[in-house]
Structure 1
């Protein structure tokens, strides 16, 4: 499972930043109301953000614009992210502190230096990495007979219930202490998979997707209640992103992408949607409106998909033994893998569909 493992290792961000190539699996159109590139006006980590139009963007990869292309540096920030977009739209002076891979601990240690008594606005997106976003996705993306998605989700939710509440309270208290007069908005997470898995290199069964969605729901509920206890606002993106998952005709979330670190993060249309949600909460007196950006799903390449699945070596002896122990038909498994080696597109498609059916059937048995 080296390929999927590399994917989710990159998604976790941190000091081992993914490649800064600007390519993605979908190519959204440019903003319709502006051609000027949104650029942070306060360099990250320097000075104190002060003034009536000051704005500090804190958090993890979902706050750093990962998924939109053009990400750079150790924190993998992108000028196409929603924070720079809304800063430009609302004429705010942005201190872009968000960092891919950030946890509540690292955010408290590394991102709060520009907060001060004169800071006007703050946004926070945090918690996903505390509960193991990358590890859970890696586990659930693997064929169910080779992984324990349910166990990974359960472990993440255990952390969410036992450790994360205290971590969030400590972090939010730091933010309020450093920026006592700022309007603070906590921003939640969307469902990232939707109701189907159309990517050949991932195996998210319906049970996997439901479990991941339930975990996101619980995380957003915790963020909302904790934010409210500190007088912070909360933005919930789930309903707005419904119908725009990676397999939708107009996706706002990337599926498996290049660069790999952009996978399962909002694309440029998704960043615009976030900006449209957060802006009115962060700056409710403004009359600025969000430009509309659309994106269509890129056509799939069956041969490339087949090559990617073949790299998983599902028909190697060790993986076959695991499949057999899990009650998966090894004869069908080997036949479907062989189909992927065909030069015929229909045969390749049959092999991909067959492997996904084996995965779903095993997940159904395991859930009984």
Structure 2
């Protein structure tokens, strides 16, 4: 069992370095255009990491406290919108979780979270799982890229750096292969194993893999001091997130599960967007949220995406489950 920080908490830097360099869904959960359909018959279990848990978004609920779950995260909003009773909903997501923490207990800075899959049973009728970012070390990757961006910007000020340089990408691909791509490929099998385990435990459940929302903009030039990254690395990290989401989509399809795309509806609402539209906070959050994590607006948007998927399956009939 391991103690780890969540995706965004791993990107915390000293204030001195940080300050200098440091279809679209509407915000309300109930605003979806699709007509409501009956919710799944029976309990809903939410599995996942900090993008599911919603760290630093008030208020905290559940145990252990170290998982830092918000009662305004997307699972809580989905359960409320579906009209589920408290006994019909279990959120066991935990900040810092990897795929391994779904089948084994996870130590946190404040308590131990039981294996998340232990909450899934034959009576479960809906499962959402948002996992994979910590398996590829995305938080530490961003930390390293920001440090490389600090050095890049210092060199730029003295005219010693090309404007299209991507120092982080260069380091990740220096051995002739892309280290991040390799980690994504390795994580694919672990996600497949998780989905197989869910299916064995809850054969009648509708299962949805929830992808990650847009973290960085399409153009590196559109991301300024909010993230402190070299422009080329903004593009590189965006591509890696897209590859991660593609892997999650393929794993879901192969397992007969649904995939919830949160990337497309959040495009243009990334950590470098204006504070009043973004779903993901930058390194120094302006709203209550962990660094480089969804804020409350983002969790609402993710909930919308999940609800659309659940309601669409209710109309046409899910290929796996009721």
Same fold, judged at TM 0.5 (above): yes
Which of 115, 128, 145 lines up with 1:123 in the alignment?
128
- Structure 1 spans left out of the alignment, 5+ residues: 1-8, 19-29, 35-50, 288-368
User: Cα offset for 1:68?
Assistant: 3.1
Q: 1:254 to 1:71 in 2, by over 3 A?
A: farther
1:155 lines up with 2:179 in the alignment: yes
Query: 1:254 aligns to what?
Result: 281
Equivalent residues in 2 for 1:235-246, closer than 5 Å: 235-246=260-271
Query: 2:250 aligns to what?
Result: 225
Native 8 Å contact 1:71 1:79 kept in 2: yes
Equivalents in 1 of 2:225, 2:44: separation in Å?
38
Which of 239, 259, 274 lines up with 2:302 in the alignment?
274
Q: 1:152 to 1:66 in 2, by over 3 A?
A: farther
**Higher normalized contact order (CA 8 Å, seq sep 6+, divided by chain length):** 2
Which of 186, 191, 196 lines up with 1:173 in the alignment?
196
Q: 1:256 to 1:127 in 2, by over 3 A?
A: same
Structure 2 length-normalised TM: 0.69
1:98 lines up with 2:122 in the alignment: no
The CA deviation string for residues 102-155 of structure 1, in whole angstroms up to 9 with x for no partner, is 101111221011211111100011100000111111011124374851134732
Equivalents in 1 of 2:150, 2:313: separation in Å?
53
Equivalents in 2 of 1:165, 1:266: separation in Å?
24
Native 8 Å contact 1:67 1:265 kept in 2: no
Which one is further off, 202-211 or 219-228?
202-211
Count of residue pairs the alignment pairs up: 248
Equivalents in 2 of 1:268, 1:246: separation in Å?
13
Equivalent residues in 2 for 1:181-200, closer than 5 Å: 181-194=204-217, 195=219, 196-199=222-225
Determine helix, strand or coil for the equivalent of 1:223.
helix
- Structure 2 spans left out of the alignment, 5+ residues: 13-26, 32-39, 105-114, 153-166, 316-322
Which of these two proteins has the greater Rg computed from alpha carbons? 1
Query: 1:77 aligns to what?
Result: 69
Determine helix, strand or coil for the equivalent of 1:62.
helix
RMSD of Structure 2 on Structure 1 (CA) = 2.9
Equivalent residues in 2 for 1:134-149, closer than 5 Å: 134-144=139-149, 146=151, 149=168
User: Cα offset for 1:282?
Assistant: 2.4
Equivalents in 2 of 1:90, 1:252: separation in Å?
23
Query: 1:60 aligns to what?
Result: 49
Structure 1 length-normalised TM: 0.61
